[in-house]
Amino acid sequence: MCPCNSCWGRKPLVLKESANTLLLFGATGDLAQRMLLPSLYGLDLDGLLPPALRIVATARSDLDTEAFRTAAEGALKRFVDADYLKDEAVARFIARLSYVALDASDIAQYGRLAEAVGSTEKGLAIFLSTAPSLFKTTIAGLQRAGLAGDNVRLALEKPLGTDLASSRDINDAVAAVFPEERTFRIDHYLGKETVQNLLALRFGNALFEPLWNAGHIDHVQITVAETVGLEGRVGFYDGTGALRDMVQNHMLQLLALVAMEPPNQFSATEVRDEKVKVLRALRPIDASAVETNSVTGQYQAGAIGGSAVPAYAEELGQPSGTETFVALKAHVDNWRWKGVPFYLRTGKRLPQRQSMIVIQFKPVPHSIFASKGAALKANKLIINLQPQENIRLLTMAKQPGLDRDGIRLREVPLDLGMANAFADTRRRIAYERLLLDLIEGDPTLFVRRDEVEAQWEWIDAIRNGWAAKAMTPRPYAAGNWGPSAAIALTERDGVSWHE
């Protein structure tokens, strides 16, 4: 595989035939129980899975197929809405499942896995959700067992490294066996309906795209807020932190979708080409800029939803320098976005769970209503990703009345609530689309290697800057929106975070 960035993904990517076998690693883990099995069941319920598709599950747990099927049925009952649990559909889905216990670190055991999978001639899709330390061994085991041929494609769940060097190491190991066109890197945010609707909003409507530039947009905010703390992720999170856990993947992908140029067509190559241009245009936040363009924090004891919660160090059981909050001021240095700041904010133990993109437009150049006492606010487009998916445009409207004391204008929302607009359509888990695309071989909503490495290059500069300036996380009480310095990050530009 050529390592040159200019070669990645340049060949047209043709939709392949659907795989007839899905190999699911980590099948007894939390992700599989909460997301993957319910997603696959939902697809089966709606007749979207190939009729002959078999699902071979594997994990370390010492189970047989019957025990795994029982566990899978229990997961469906816990995580699927009861209205969608049909006895006949559950039985049909469970019959697709088989299970092979596997120690992924032991290459000798992969032969047993190959026996369960059988021939790959009619297509095999592999979903790999495992510790990064096992990637190389797993890839080697799959190759040795004959599970890496031309009809096999591999999906990789994050994290893919901890920095640019380790990411390249993992990607090199994968590329030695699975070429780029058969490698599907997952970012589940790209499977969310509202994220995809961002593209429809921009490129399917004449209303927005002419205004989608520095001439009309004042700034952009992207917030991914969590109310939870460590929640069983102690081993992973303390070695990762908010910057690498959320910004490096989810938030930079959202930024790229907001800032990208219109692709020629909605295809894997065209969309990902435009995203990587944005990521390469990000202005580095290095040692010279990190103190003025970044804020880090770590939550202390406080209250969430009226309930007391402990400090991060208390949950961890020891002091730590890991950031649980980060706020950044970023710039995309190209013609479209010259001078437009992108404010990014993410953290744990914040007041509410929400993911949103806010497009703040510039005010009208002259208010004809000022002499009548009316105050104007600039239009704002709010794209909510979770917990509710909806798009809201804040516009100015005249307040009803005879206006004897002057004209009064009020900010009025125009809402596109996804649940209301598409009330007759079942809302899908993001993994449903991604798993179906993997099975069918469509890589459009998966991340290409050059995207990942451009993201890591930008993140590494920030982390190196923190180290050079000896920056440590500032304390913030759980239940607040991070350290006060995060407020100052925007307010010195005359901007307030949207909350």
User: Which stretches does DSSP call E strand in 166-206?
Assistant: 183-185
Handedness of CA 118, 89, 36, 200 (dihedral sign): positive
Query: Whose CA is closest to 414, among 374, 386, 377, 382?
Result: 382
How far is the C-alpha of 225 from the C-alpha of 246, rounded, in Å? 10
Residue type, 497: W
- The single residue of 219, 250, 331, 498 carrying the catalytic annotation is 250
Supply 122's token pair. Answer: 């009619």
Burial class (CB in 10 A: 0-12, 13-18, 19+), 48: middle
Residue type, 53: L
CA-to-CA dists, residue 437 to 49, 268, 446, angstroms: 11, 11, 9
Q: What is the enclosing helix (H) or strand (E) of 132? A: none
C-beta separation of 463 from 248 below 8 A: no
Residues of each annotated binding site for NADP(+): 60, 158
The residues that bridge with 152 in the sheet, in sequence order, are 124
Q: What is the DSSP letter of 213?
A: S
Supply 53's token pair. Answer: 């598709």
Residue type, 485: A
Supply 169's token pair. Answer: 């190491």
How far is the C-alpha of 208 from the C-alpha of 196, rounded, in Å? 16
How far is the C-alpha of 398 from the C-alpha of 374, rounded, in Å? 9
Query: Whose CA is closest to 282, among 328, 224, 221?
Result: 328
Query: Whose CA is closest to 113, among 71, 147, 62?
Result: 147
Supply 16's token pair. Answer: 């392949």
Long-range contacts of 130-133 (CB under 8 A, 24+ apart): 130/25, 130/26, 130/104, 130/157, 132/159, 132/160, 132/161, 132/162, 132/166, 132/170
Q: Could you confirm whether 366 is annotated as catalytic?
A: no
End-to-end CA distance of the chain: give it in Å, rounded.
Answer: 46
C-alpha angle 247-12-43 in degrees, rounded to nearest 5: 65
Residues marked as catalytic:
250
